[in-house]
Amino acid sequence: MVYNQIMKTIGIVALSGGVKEDKINNAVENLKALGYRVKLSENIFDKNRYLAGSDEIKIAELYKFFKDSDVDIILNARGGYGAIRLINQIDYEIIKSNPKPFIGFSDITALLLMISKRTGMVTYHGPMACSDFGDLTPPPLLKGEGMMFSLDYLLKALDGGRLEFEGKKIYKRGEAQGIIWGGNLATVVSLCGLDFIPEEDFVFFAEDLNEPVYKIDRMFQQLINIQDFRGKCKGIVLGDFLDVDNKDWLDEYFYELAGKLNIPVVDGFKITHLKDKVTIPIGRKCSLHENQLVIG
């Protein structure tokens, strides 16, 4: 398969936690081997405690990549922590005036949702440079190990066509329509207090890792306590909740959540911190029927 039909130059930007040089170098080599040109943000290896440099430099690099006509897509280096520090400092008109795909997950969820809210752009909950393209040294990536699944789904999402996903477990049957919206649960909840919920009805998707069940319960409860969230959330699509403390409790909780909201809830989608992940285009129209999620 040819992997450079959509993307020509990928700009890798560090907007969250500090970046490891070896992983970025691996990501660059893998992406180049796939036929892309790569640009790195000037702060890519900056360190400020646990952050990839100062907030001011991060925002300047974000603007630079959106304004740069040679950059076709912006790929985040990694998550960690740091994106939420930026969201109230960003001039979203700069982004809105220079639209292009912006991709990441985990902590980057904060930027995905706020850019979507403030600009109307579709943003992409998908792979990142370090955690996905950078974990394997060339040539394993080119032999089809580890990354091709995620890359295929990323390109399908960027192409803008119809996406179809099948869940594995239904907690409550039903149908739902709206836009697809969500991301890393802990990061979504970190936006509480801001104007971040969509204007339209939505199907909420969520994933997380290293969170005990009581915290997952608490985070969902924080969201459903918001009248706007509860009124507009028409269905829930669950990805992986990795390294949870008690899987039986989590299973019981999701049944309880589905009953409490009286909306369809489906589990088992490859929305995850693991290597094989699907890309979700935040803001596109979708429908949920039984265990079938269709976007576009």
Tens digit of pLDDT for each residue in 40-94? 999 999 999 999 999 999 999 999 999 999 999 999 999 999 999 999 999 999 9
Tens digit of pLDDT for each residue in 158-188? 999 999 999 999 999 999 999 999 999 999 9
Q: In what order do the strands lie in the sheet with 163-166?
A: 163-166, 292-295, 285-289, 175-184, 202-209, 233-242, 265-267, 169-172
Residue that wins the pLDDT comparison between 3 and 94: 94
**Does position 273 have pLDDT exceeding 70, yes or no?**
yes
SS3 label, residue 123: strand
Start-end ranges of CATH 3.40.50.10740 in the chain? 9-159
* pLDDT value, residue 153: 94
Instruction: Please give the share of the chain, as a percent, with pLDDT higher than 90.
Output: 90
Q: What is the average pLDDT value for the chain, to the nearest integer?
A: 94
The CATH class for the domain spanning 163-295 reads alpha beta
Q: What is the mean pLDDT of residues 108-126?
A: 98
Distance CA 196, CA 111 (A): 11
Nearest to 186 by CA among 105, 98, 102, 245: 105
Start-end ranges of CATH 3.50.30.60 in the chain? 163-295
pTM for this entry: 0.95
Q: What is the chain's length?
A: 296
Tens digit of pLDDT for each residue in 199-236? 999 999 999 999 999 999 999 999 999 999 999 999 99
Q: How many CA atoms lie within 13 A of 24 on its CB side?
A: 23
* pLDDT value, residue 143: 57
Q: Which fold has domain 9-159?
A: Rossmann fold (3.40.50)
146: amino acid identity, one letter: G
* pLDDT value, residue 3: 42
